């Protein structure tokens, strides 16, 4: 067996975005609260502001955080965090304000021999009386973790007490699973309330008292109540009321629990699943709840003599589907979500009524159920489109490399129309001329954060809109308004020197000016050209043109061209004219098909001139333009969508490289690399103008101006596109039509019983604007389960869409079945059904294969045996069963003449084609060890990677010699890696930062020896897998070991316990220690060490020959 292709590096390129848990406490400072947010293995700590939150710090641990809680350790001025990972490792950490570092107070693992992990969510509570954390993570067990030594009533530590702070002890219970657990308030003893499982269609709330001295819990049988079967969550009611809320799908009940005879107070609700609830701070009678549709409710108590008399509930608004609600103080709340975009809301109170305003939202890609990668322009830049979110929070998320704008200052001036930065000669000061909808402002920056407004500046006309403003060659200020073009001496004490006014009855509609030239157009279409280099405007020529839309001066003499030009865009007969200056002679006429231009530009990038036409609907037409004497030639037209609307193009220089900024709905920066244009999205939306002002980049929004910088490094940016009320579940890119096929579902509520039913659609979307072009609605309760694009040799230049569906049987889920639908996508993007074939099971996955299609139908693999779209319907398509060896075949991949199958329980198997016409398959090799697969991928003919339900990826290999025999071969495990989040799919290719890397795999050592691929997870993280050579693996594994030795583990958690492969059966654990995977995230840490540590890390015979800069370059090449 060759190991050459079994070494891989796994790199996270987008960190988890789904919020797993939240807390509030004084973590960074004893005087101020912080919001603490967990996302996978990352903890984000935010400062709480008057109108939102601001990230203060973030750090990662070795493990996925399943539970987090703030707690108080004696003699500590700030709160501590108790963190429990999904592998039941725990740590207690504190922020040391003196050293500004994280300090580990205690750590360990919750473990008991032969203990069974609970099927219920893990519960943690803090018993305040004894300063003990209680954790329910195993069936029949509680773990107690003391936060301080046990003391007697005199405050002395008890003799012989074996309890050690931060060390867990197990407590046996007589119960099976704790569904929900809370620490009670309002009761003097240490009581916890626990929700237990169904007995005779009821669930039970029991109360226990924790005895710290004996480390045991004792049930109080008098405080036991039965609750309805759908009850799923307990919420402790604060002092002085006490008791618990028991939340079910139909009833919310309050139980006093202080006496056995008290009557519960019940509130009937419409059927819903409450997913999060919390009491308002310093309140015992107001509780805010959120449900699975994102609705928020205010639960209020009627209280008399500290006793609850009645419960009320009212809907107060809708946000994301919450999994946590945290009161930030005042009227601000943070809504955390696994399934939608977390947000900060403000609670409004008007008398007894409540409402909410959503102040800020934060992008969450999770859960990513499917995605596709495509290169629309065939320029090497991949775009990733994800099916993200759940139910109403479902959307398409576009992920692509883009440019970041780092905001430094915001200037709030509403209704700005244009902005003109001016550098005044000899004064070394910059001023901003700002045109609003009815006037002109002049501002001067006086400090980093302050601007001064001039009531009067030089000869500026302040009560009109400014169409153009600049400083000319001799330092005079030019202002053009509707009524005149003016030249004045610069400076606040300047004066008007010359004024040109249009003929009587005319007004200036459009104007542009530079240091020496000015072109303006009057309302009737009179185009006038001026020389404006001195202290006067000298009219040179004019031309009558109808319907002028835009003007762009092109001073090309500075680029070595013989003449200067002006571009004129026209509306009525859509076209662009290139006029030679000074006589306004037409050199080039460029006709447009449908709409007139919004802006025009000729610019030079990497020595090549481009003629660009920007249309209002977001289309950019770019052409190469060449000048020979008085003649201009254009060639190589390229059409690109850069948004849904655009305003203007702005050439600028960044790091000595000329670029073009396009303002609009999706701002874009055009760069040139190797004489090819590349388009980079900017991480901000709806920008209407751009300028450079001193050391700042200035962007105009609908509410003011943003000052900041363009980030030199490209990063992944996310854009969200809703498809009506649908949740996208499957997506495929269609190469021929450059469109997207998206399978969606939506919930339809039955008005009689309130039940929700799934309905399905197949949508065709434009791959750049993401507008819906056509829709095919599935009948009844049929929904999309799988999709594949296929081409056939008998029908060249055509792609067909194959859709696998599920038709659920609510009474017997095992009897659910589906159909295979075959569609033709027409040239006008209309979707036409060619054939529909009933199948006896659910079509879980499909792939194009060998001029045919293979499909997973329950536990069988079906092959397309007939495809004749020209025949009558009913005779066009046929599928036949080929292999029936699986429990449930859930995922497929194809390569050459082989098919890779991922099973629900039986790991992976490899099938080989035995006949092509008709297509037949047979089993070539299987993995005998159990694994519950979620995705599979070919590396080559003999190496396979799979993802399982335990959040691993692992490699199986087939011995090349075994594949030649007639027997079924055994696949051999070649190593694994714990990703930490469930992977739903793999897709070939990766998102590459073309502009930063210059070229893929430019170093031979880090070159991927097989095609790299991308994966996405339910937590919203995105990662890549690259196959590397044994030589590269040896080098980087040494580097990784040295980096690990120099790294500080926050919480003292072990790296190996985090990343080691964790198979289904512990009996094969020793095989999982085979190391064939590198952690790209760990390798990236090298760049953050100081010089001394970097030098120390490279002290190995294989590493010494590389300088620090060379090693950083290798790492960047490896993980990018």
Q: pLDDT (tens digit, 9 = 90+) per residue, 96-130?
A: 988 999 999 999 999 888 888 888 889 999 988 88
How much is the pLDDT for 963? 60
Give yes or no: residues 782 and 865 share one domain: yes
Q: Do 56 and 44 share a structural domain?
A: yes
Higher pLDDT, 403 or 855: 855
In a domain, 527, yes or no: yes
Residue 972, both tokens: 């051999």
185 and 59 belong to one structural domain:
no
Q: Are strands 676-682 and 395-411 parallel, antiparallel or unpaired?
A: parallel
Same domain, 141 and 99: no
Residue 866 pLDDT more than 70?
Answer: yes
* Averaged pLDDT for residues 688-715: 87
- In terms of domains, do 175 and 77 share one? no
Q: Is residue 1029 part of a domain?
A: no
What token pair was written down for 390? 């759940």
Of the candidate ranges 358-372, 774-788, 1095-1109, the one whose mean pLDDT is the lowest? 1095-1109
CA-based nearest residue to 123, from 94, 147, 143, 93: 143
Range of 220's domain? 111-149+164-271
Closest CA to 298 of 269, 320, 329: 269
Look at residue 132 and tell me if it is in a domain: yes
DSSP-derived secondary structure letter, 117: B
pLDDT average, residue stretch 709-735: 89
Report the side by side order of strands in the sheet with 123-127: 123-127, 132-138, 141-146, 169-172
**pLDDT digit string, tens, across residues 822-861:** 999 998 899 999 999 999 999 999 999 999 999 999 999 9
Per-residue confidence band for 384, with pLDDT thresholds at 50, 70 and 90: very high
pLDDT at 224: 86
Asked if residue 1008 belongs to a domain, the reply is: no
- Tell me: pLDDT of 761 over 70: yes
Same domain as 486, residue 448: yes
Whether 1073 shows a pLDDT value over 70: the answer reads no
Q: Are residues 97 and 228 in the same domain?
A: no
pLDDT the model gives residue 191 = 87
CA 218, CA 19: separation in Å to the nearest integer?
A: 35
Yes or no: say if 877 and 884 are a contact pair by the CB < 8 Å rule: no
Q: In terms of Cα–Cα distance, which of 860, 869, 818, 853 is closest to 839?
A: 818
- Percent of the chain residues topping a pLDDT of 70: 95
Is 963 inside any structural domain?
Answer: no
| Confidence (pLDDT) at 710 | 86
CATH classification of the domain holding 263? 2.130.10.10
- The larger pLDDT score, comparing residue 1013 to residue 148, is at 1013
Please give the Cα distance from 1022 to 384 (Å, whole number): 10
Quick: pLDDT tens for 604-647.
Answer: 999 899 999 999 888 899 999 999 878 889 998 888 888 778 89
- Taking 50 as the threshold, does the pLDDT of residue 999 lie above it? no
What DSSP designation does 157 have? B
Read off the tokens for 130.
């004894």
The helix (H) or strand (E) run that includes residue 781 is none
The CA distance from 22 to 28, in Å, is 16
Together in a domain, 727 and 828: yes
pLDDT at 943: 95
> Is the CB of residue 32 less than 8 Å from the CB of residue 45?
no
**Least reliable range by pLDDT among 438-447, 568-577, 929-938, 997-1006:** 997-1006
On the question of pLDDT at 288 being above 90, the answer is: yes
**Tokens in use for 464?**
């009109």
- Average pLDDT for residues 895-917, to the nearest whole number? 93
**Cβ density class 233-246: b for 16+ within 10 Å, e for less:** bbbbbbeebbbbbb
Cβ neighbors of 132 (< 8 A, separation 6 or more) are: 126, 144, 145, 146, 147, 210, 212
Higher per-residue confidence, 189 vs 1118 = 1118
Residues 52 and 128 in one domain: no
Mean pLDDT of 136-153: 80
pLDDT reading at 705 higher than 70: yes
Residues 737 and 855 in one domain: yes
- Confidence band, pLDDT 50/70/90 cuts, at residue 160: very low
What is the mean pLDDT of the segment spanning 578-596?
Answer: 90
Residue 1056 φ then ψ, to 5° = -65, -35
Give the residue from 271, 290, 314 where a domain finishes: 271
Instruction: Determine the Cα–Cα distance for residues 766 and 23; give it in Å rounded to an integer.
Output: 42
Position 14 scores a pLDDT of: 94
Report pLDDT for 594. Answer: 78
Q: Is residue 1117 predicted with pLDDT exceeding 50? A: yes
Look at residue 1082 and tell me whether its pLDDT is greater than 90.
yes
In this predicted structure, what is the pLDDT of residue 666?
A: 85
pLDDT for residue 1000: 42
Establish if 90 belongs to a structural domain.
yes
811 has a pLDDT exceeding 70 = yes
The answer to whether residues 82 and 139 belong to one domain is: no
Structural domain count of the chain: 4
Least-confidence region, from 142-151, 222-231, 925-934: 142-151
**Are the C-beta atoms of residues 322 and 338 closer than 8 Å to each other?**
no
Alpha carbon dihedral 1025, 1029, 1032, 1036, in 10-degree steps, equals 40
Do the beta carbons of residue 1018 and residue 984 sit within 8 Å?
yes
Q: Is residue 51 part of a domain?
A: yes
Indicate whether 178 and 92 sit together in one domain. no
Domain final residue, candidates 543, 577, 610:
543
CA 80-82-83 angle, to 5 degrees, is 135
Judge whether 586 lies within some domain. Answer: no
* Pairwise CA distance, residues 401 & 718, whole Å: 9
Longest dimension (CA), the chain: 104
Mean predicted lDDT score pLDDT of the chain: 89
Cα–Cα distance for residue pair 726/761, rounded to 1 Å? 8
Tokens of 680: 């980079």
Domain final position from 233, 256, 271: 271
- State the pLDDT at residue 810: 78
List of E strands, 917-988: 919-926, 933-940, 943-948, 952-957, 969-970, 972-978, 983-988
What are the Cα distances from residue 463, in Å, to 436, 490, 1053? 10, 19, 66
Residue 996: the pLDDT is 55
Q: What is the pTM of this model?
A: 0.87
> Residues of 786-808 as b/e, b for ≥16 C-beta within 10 angstroms?
bbbbbebeeeeeebbbbbbbbbb
Helix, strand, or coil (residue 752): coil
Of residues 239 and 852, more confidence is placed in 852
* C-alpha torsion sign, points 652, 655, 656, 658: negative
Amino acid 905: pLDDT = 92
Q: Which residues pair with 468 in a beta bridge?
A: 480
**Mean pLDDT of the region 6-15:** 94
What are the phi and psi torsion angles at 64 (to 5°)?
-90, 125
């Amino acid at each position: 067996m060759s190991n050459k292709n079994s070494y891989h590096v796994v790199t996270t390129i987008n960190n988890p975005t789904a919020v797993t848990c939240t807390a509030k406490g004084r973590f960074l400072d004893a005087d101020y609260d912080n919001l603490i947010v967990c996302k996978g293995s990352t903890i984000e700590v935010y400062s709480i502001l008057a109108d939102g939150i601001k990230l203060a710090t973030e750090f990662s641990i070795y493990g996925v955080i399943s539970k987090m809680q703030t707690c108080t350790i004696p003699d500590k001025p700030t709160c501590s965090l108790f963190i429990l990972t999904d592998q039941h490792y725990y740590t207690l950490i504190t922020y040391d304000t003196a050293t500004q570092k994280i300090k580990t107070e205690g750590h360990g693992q919750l473990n008991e021999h032969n203990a069974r992990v609970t099927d219920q969510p893990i519960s943690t509570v803090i018993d305040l009386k004894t300063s003990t954390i209680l954790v329910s993570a195993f069936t029949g067990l509680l773990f107690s973790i003391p936060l301080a030594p046990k003391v007697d009533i005199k405050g002395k530590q008890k003799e012989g007490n074996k309890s050690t702070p931060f060390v867990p002890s197990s407590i046996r219970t007589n119960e099976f699973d704790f569904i929900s657990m809370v620490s009670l308030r309002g009761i003097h003893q240490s009581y916890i309330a626990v929700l237990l499982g169904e007995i005779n269609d009821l669930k039970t709330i029991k109360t226990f008292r924790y005895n710290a001295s004996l480390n045991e819990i004792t049930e109080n049988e008098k405080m036991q109540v039965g609750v309805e079967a759908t009850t799923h969550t307990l919420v402790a009611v604060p002092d002085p009321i006490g008791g618990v809320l028991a939340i079910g799908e139909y009833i919310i009940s309050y139980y006093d629990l202080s006496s056995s005879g008290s009557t519960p107070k019940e509130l009937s609700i419409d059927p819903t699943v409450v997913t999060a609830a919390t009491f308002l701070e310093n309140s015992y009678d107001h509780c805010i709840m959120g449900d699975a549709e994102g609705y928020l409710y205010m639960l209020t108590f009627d209280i008399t003599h500290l006793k609850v008399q009645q419960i009320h509930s009212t809907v107060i608004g809708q946000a994301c589907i919450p999994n946590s609600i945290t009161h930030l103080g005042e009227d601000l709340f943070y809504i955390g979500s696994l399934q939608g975009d977390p947000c900060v809301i403000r609670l409004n109170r008007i008398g007894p009524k409540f409402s909410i305003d959503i102040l800020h939202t934060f992008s969450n890609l999770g859960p990513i159920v499917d995605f596709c990668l495509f290169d629309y322009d065939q320029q090497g830049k991949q775009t990733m489109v994800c099916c993200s979110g759940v139910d109403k929070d479902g959307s398409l998320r576009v992920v692509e490399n883009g440019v970041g704008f780092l905001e430094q200052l915001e200037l709030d001036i509403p209704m700005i129309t244009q902005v003109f930065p001016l550098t005044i000669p000899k004064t070394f000061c910059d001023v901003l001329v700002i045109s609003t909808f009815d006037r002109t402002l002049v501002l001067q920056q006086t400090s980093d954060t302050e601007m001064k407004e001039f009531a009067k500046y030089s000869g500026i006309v302040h009560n009109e809109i400014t169409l153009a403003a600049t400083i000319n060659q001799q330092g005079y200020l030019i202002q053009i308004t509707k009524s005149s073009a003016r030249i004045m001496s610069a400076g606040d004490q300047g004066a008007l020197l010359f004024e040109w006014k249009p003929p009587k009855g005319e007004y200036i509609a459009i104007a542009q000016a530079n240091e020496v030239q000015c072109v303006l157009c009057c309302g009737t279409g009179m185009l006038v050209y001026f020389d404006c280099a001195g202290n006067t405007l000298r009219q040179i020529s004019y031309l009558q043109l109808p319907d002028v839309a835009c003007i762009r001066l092109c001073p090309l003499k500075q680029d070595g061209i013989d003449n200067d030009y002006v571009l004129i865009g026209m509306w009525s007969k859509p076209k662009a004219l290139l006029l030679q200056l000074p006589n306004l002679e037409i050199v080039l006429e460029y006709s447009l098909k449908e709409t007139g231009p919004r802006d025009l530009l000729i610019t030079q990038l990497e020595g090549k001139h481009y003629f660009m036409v920007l249309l209002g609907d977001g289309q950019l037409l770019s052409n190469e333009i060449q000048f020979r004497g008085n003649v201009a030639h254009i060639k190589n037209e390229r059409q690109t969508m850069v948004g849904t609307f655009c305003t203007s193009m702005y050439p600028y220089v960044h790091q000595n490289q000329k670029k073009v900024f396009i303002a609009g709905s999706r701002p874009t920066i055009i760069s040139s690399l190797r004489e090819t244009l590349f388009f980079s999205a900017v991480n901000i939306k709806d920008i209407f103008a751009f300028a450079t002002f001193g050391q700042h980049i200035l962007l105009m929004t609908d509410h003011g101006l943003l000052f900041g910088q363009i980030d030199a490094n490209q990063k992944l940016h996310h854009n969200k596109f809703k498809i009506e009320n649908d949740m996208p579940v499957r997506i495929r890119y269609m190469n021929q039509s450059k469109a997207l096929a998206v399978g969606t579902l939506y919930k339809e509520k039955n008005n009689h019983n309130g039940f929700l039913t799934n309905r399905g659609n197949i949508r065709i979307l434009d791959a750049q604007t993401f507008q819906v072009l056509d829709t095919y609605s599935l009948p009844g309760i049929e929904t999309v389960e799988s999709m594949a694009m296929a081409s056939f040799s008998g029908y060249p230049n055509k792609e067909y869409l194959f859709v696998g569906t599920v038709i659920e049987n609510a009474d017997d889920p095992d009897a659910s079945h589906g159909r295979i639908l075959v569609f033709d996508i027409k040239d006008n993007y209309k979707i036409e059904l060619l054939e529909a074939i009933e199948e006896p099971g659910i079509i879980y996955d499909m792939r194009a294969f060998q001029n045919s299609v293979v499909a997973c139908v329950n536990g069988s693999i079906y092959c397309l045996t007939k495809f004749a779209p020209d025949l009558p319907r009913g005779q066009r398509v046929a599928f036949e069963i080929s292999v029936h060896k699986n429990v449930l075949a859930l995922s497929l991949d194809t390569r050459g003449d082989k098919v890779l199958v991922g099973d629900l329980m039986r790991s992976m198997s490899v099938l080989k084609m035995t006949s092509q016409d008709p297509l037949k398959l047979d089993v070539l090799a299987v993995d005998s060890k159990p694994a519950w697969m979620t995705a599979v991928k070919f590396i080559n003919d003999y190496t396979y990677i799979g993802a399982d339900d335990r959040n691993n990826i692992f490699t199986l290999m087939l011995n090349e010699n075994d594949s030649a025999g007639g027997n079924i071969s055994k696949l051999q495990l070649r190593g694994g890696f714990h990703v930490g989040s469930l992977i739903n799919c793999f897709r070939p290719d990766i998102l590459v930062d073309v502009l930063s890397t210059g070229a893929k795999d430019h170093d031979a050592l880090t070159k991927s020896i097989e095609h790299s691929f991308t994966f996405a997870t339910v937590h919203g993280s995105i990662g890549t897998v690259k196959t590397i050579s044994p030589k590269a693996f040896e080098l980087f594994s040494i580097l990784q070991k040295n980096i690990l030795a120099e790294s500080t583990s926050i919480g003292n958690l072990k790296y190996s316990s985090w990343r080691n492969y964790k198979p289904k059966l512990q009996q094969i654990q020793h095989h999982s220690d085979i190391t064939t995977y590198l952690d790209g995230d760990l390798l990236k840490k090298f760049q953050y060490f100081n010089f001394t540590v970097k030098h120390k890390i490279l002290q190995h015979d294989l590493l010494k020959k590389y300088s620090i800069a060379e090693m950083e370059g290798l790492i960047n090449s490896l993980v990018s």
